[in-house]
Amino acid sequence: MKMSGLQYIWDSILQYEAVLRSPYFPVFFSITVYLSFCLPFVVLDALSSRVAWIRRYKLQQKTSVSWRMIWSCLALSLYNHVMYIFPLSVLHWYWRPVSYTVTAPGLLRVIWDLFACLLLFDFQYFVWHLLHHKVPWLYRTFHKVHHKYTSTFALATEYSGAWETLSLGFFAAVNPMLLGVHPMTEMLFHMLNMWLSVEDHCGYDLPWATHRLVPFGLYGGAPHHDVHHQKFKSNYAPYFTHWDKLFGTLHSE
């Protein structure tokens, strides 16, 4: 029987099963993927003040990203990973060891499960986000940190306090378990979720951006979320627009 492409990839990943089972792997995976996704936009930020064709795609063209802002965001993200995510990864490794099946999932199943995980996370984030804006104590105590910057840029994606980091991270971690997806799909979901989060905060409206690829305005993307950071009282869903439409909180500019 001919081996599928996904099976070949999964077999290649399983060669490093000892690494995957390490309590250090979730933190290494998270920070490496996150910074890799941020890097292209950091380069754009560094060049945008001098290169006109880059600046034309910037959502807030009068703003700029300083190295001080970059280091501040990077330091907080690393701090959260070391102080909060790593201890939880060790506890998870101790109490619930990871098991890996040798059979890869089918392509259609991967696509369906990714979409299901993304839709569920989008709903959870919308409810969490709406509450943390509508309840003043929640906003002041937990979410205000993330709104330090009214002009979005990639490394501001994870500029948040411990509660926000852990609660949203909990949603992302538990959804694949709730939906019973394959470990390979779980990895792909975390990568996709991080990419879309970084793209939401990148501060650019690029021609190949996700919101331009998804038709009928179903996906908000970077312009959608940039308006949220400016206005504060609209566009609470991270990705799709249907929840904001239903609750009358959709705002476009």
User: What span, in angstroms and rounded, lies between the C-alpha atoms of 154 and 211?
Assistant: 16
pLDDT value at position 1? Answer: 42
pLDDT value at position 91? Answer: 84
221 exposed, middle or buried (CB, 10 Å; 0-12, 13-18, 19+)? Answer: buried
User: Lowest mean pLDDT: which of 85-99, 107-121, 127-141, 157-171?
Assistant: 85-99
Condensed to tens digits (0 to 9), the pLDDT of residues 14-25 reads: 999 999 999 899
Quick one: tokens of 98?
């990871």
Task: For residue 10, give Cα distances in angstroms to 5, 6, 87.
Answer: 9, 6, 28
**What proportion of the chain, given as a percentage, has pLDDT over 70?**
98
Provide long-range contacts, Cβ within 8 A and 24+ apart, for 60-66.
60/151, 60/152, 60/203, 60/226, 60/230, 63/151, 63/203, 65/153, 65/203
Condensed to tens digits (0 to 9), the pLDDT of residues 152-199 reads: 999 999 999 999 999 999 999 999 999 999 999 999 999 999 999 999
* pLDDT above 70 (res 113): yes
Q: Is the pTM of this model over 0.75?
A: yes
Condensed to tens digits (0 to 9), the pLDDT of residues 235-253 reads: 999 999 999 999 999 997 6
Contact 146, 128 (CB under 8 A): no
Contact 182, 100 (CB under 8 A): no
